[in-house]
Amino acid sequence: MNLAKFEESMYKLVVETSTKLPKDVRRAVKAAKEKENAGTRAALSLATITNNIKMADDAVSPICQDTGLPTFKIKTPVGINQLQLKEAIYNAIVLATKEGKLRPNSVDSLTGKNSGNNLGGGTPVIKFEQWEKDYIQVKLILKGGGCENKNIQYSLPCELEGLGRAGRDLDGIRKCVLHSVYQAQGQGCSAGFIGVGIGGDRSSGYDLAKEQLFRSVEDVNPNEDLRKLEDYIMENANKLGIGTMGFGGEATLLGCKIGVMNRIPASFYVSVAYNCWAFRRLGVAVNPETGDIQEWMYQEGETVDFTQTEAEKETAASSEGVITLQAPVSEEQVRQLKVGDVVQINGVMHTGRDAIHHYLMSHDAPIDLNGQIIYHCGPVMLKDEDGVWHVKAAGPTTSIREEPYQGDIMKKFGIRAVIGKGGMGPKTLAALEEHGGVYLNAIGGAAQYYAECIKSVDGVDLTQFGIPESMWHLTVEGFTAVVTMDSHGNSLHADVDKSSLEKLAQFKETVFN
């Protein structure tokens, strides 16, 4: 085999997967957008999402800044040297990271040190299988941490909130799958896709669930019982009203694929792998002699063009009903905001994720944060030959991870606003009311849309935590977000959680005997 050519093919696969959604996913997003009610926060989110997809296409830049843990599933003819293929993939990953197509995401679990090149113990994930065909098949999925954290596994029988007892049968499985959609809320960047694995053990069940994510969104399950269950879930999960980004609405789930394997009598697991709308999954057939790509997978059918219409451009440009915030902001300004307000931010903001929040609990901040805005974001950054940093992708990360710290840090440093996605919990909500703060929900996955709003990188601190976890100081213009937690004790996230739980209860009765 020409290993240099194979390495080049793997680099192309990584770049294409990171920057261009496959056709089946695009069609699912388009269908969701067409069904959504005009003028709603969900419709605004879907318009931003489709605009972001187009921007990523044009810029050949990551759709979402969290390029996840690259996971390869490879089938090879007998006689292929898998060690050589693995080395070529490592080289392709390093190059893609260096060129800003992947964010450096490999972190030592004990020291917290970022390898900087996406290589390390267990990363990337590469799984080989031999087959009798005469070509190499390579599938790749880039699954971000926000949706990975909403994976869930059930052990039947069990009691489920809103649904009651789930037994060891098809109806118990039905309840688990519905509950998995409910518990994700907007934290996994809904509207999402799910892969479900029935049976196996703890680890093989999750492997089977993730395997379902490699199926086309539009395929038909050959198992009649599972086909009916998939159809049922797709029809009814969207009745929960969670909606895009958890703002409420018609589109909560865009795809559901279910697989089954045998189990031992003592164990009955239902494992669910949740994936965000930015469903980055592609595959190629590779010539085992030349290393060239022979064919791309998931690219059959209609090509969806997400170029904005003139009407959409006018709507996006309209400032009617939008509140402008010039950062830094005052307590008085924050107290005037209420849940549902759309804001556009101009001025400065500072990124802060897990490592920063943990650090600030016991250290002084590197800058004065009084009146400032913290953005839960781990951007993709590139430094040019003159030493100037440029933002390549900068969407929000899931905020709930900062719940143990956020309220305390806001009060300690005088922070007035926090931007993230998926909302936060009661401790933060209480602090917003006491201190005079606000939580702003940006559109998850819209990494190109928000990168364009960043006009300059003014500096960086705490670089010892790695690029995603550093504190970046940014000047922004027209940065749009929605108030979902205000200083008056109101939380859209709590409201949607409550209403969707009430709707979940309607599916309590047996459906599949």
Which CATH number is 319-497's, of 3.40.190.10, 3.40.50.720, 3.20.130.10, 3.40.50.10900? 3.20.130.10
Q: Specify the DSSP element, H or E, that contains 67.
A: none
Dihedral (C-alpha) 33, 34, 36, 39: value to the nearest 10 degrees?
A: 90
* Tokens (6 digits) for 489: 């004790």
* Tokens (6 digits) for 84: 């050589």
Are residues 374 and 417 in contact, defined by beta-carbon separation less than 8 angstroms? yes
Residue in this structure with the two tokens 């559109």, named with its chain if needed? 443
Along the 513 residues of the chain, how does pLDDT read in single tens digits? 899 999 999 999 999 999 999 999 999 999 999 999 988 989 999 999 999 999 999 999 999 999 999 999 999 999 999 999 999 999 999 999 999 999 999 999 999 999 999 999 999 999 999 999 999 999 999 999 999 999 999 999 999 999 999 999 999 999 999 999 999 999 999 999 999 999 999 999 999 999 999 999 999 999 999 999 999 999 999 999 999 999 999 999 999 999 999 999 999 999 999 999 999 999 999 999 999 999 999 999 988 989 877 666 666 656 678 999 999 999 999 999 999 999 999 999 999 999 999 999 999 999 999 999 999 999 999 999 999 999 999 999 999 999 999 999 999 999 999 999 999 999 999 999 999 999 999 999 999 999 999 999 999 999 999 999 999 999 999 999 999 999 999 999 999 999 999 999 999 999 998
Domain spans of the chain?
Answer: 1-144+280-314, 145-275, 319-497
Buried b or exposed e, range 440-464, using 16+ CB within 10 angstroms: bbbbbbbbbbbbbbbeebeebebee
User: What HEC string does 136-156 produce?
Assistant: EEEEEEEECHHHHCCCEEEEC
| Beta-bridge partner residues of 74 | 128, 138
Beta-carbon contacts of residue 354 (< 8 Å; ≥ 6 apart): 401, 402, 469
pTM for this predicted structure: 0.94
Residue in this structure with the two tokens 């601190």, named with its chain if needed? 461
Instruction: Write the DSSP assignment of 138-203 as a string of letters.
Output: EEEEEE-HHHHTT-EEEESSEEETTTEEE-SSHHHHHHHHHHHHHHHTTTT-SSEEEEEEESS-HH
Rounded Cα distance, 173 and 196, in Å = 10
Beta-carbon contacts of residue 59 (< 8 Å; ≥ 6 apart): 19, 448
Residue in this structure with the two tokens 């996913």, named with its chain if needed? 25
| E strands present in 180-276 | 192-198, 253-260, 269-275
Query: What is the sign, positive or negative, of the torsion defined by CA atoms of 409, 411, 417, 422?
Result: positive
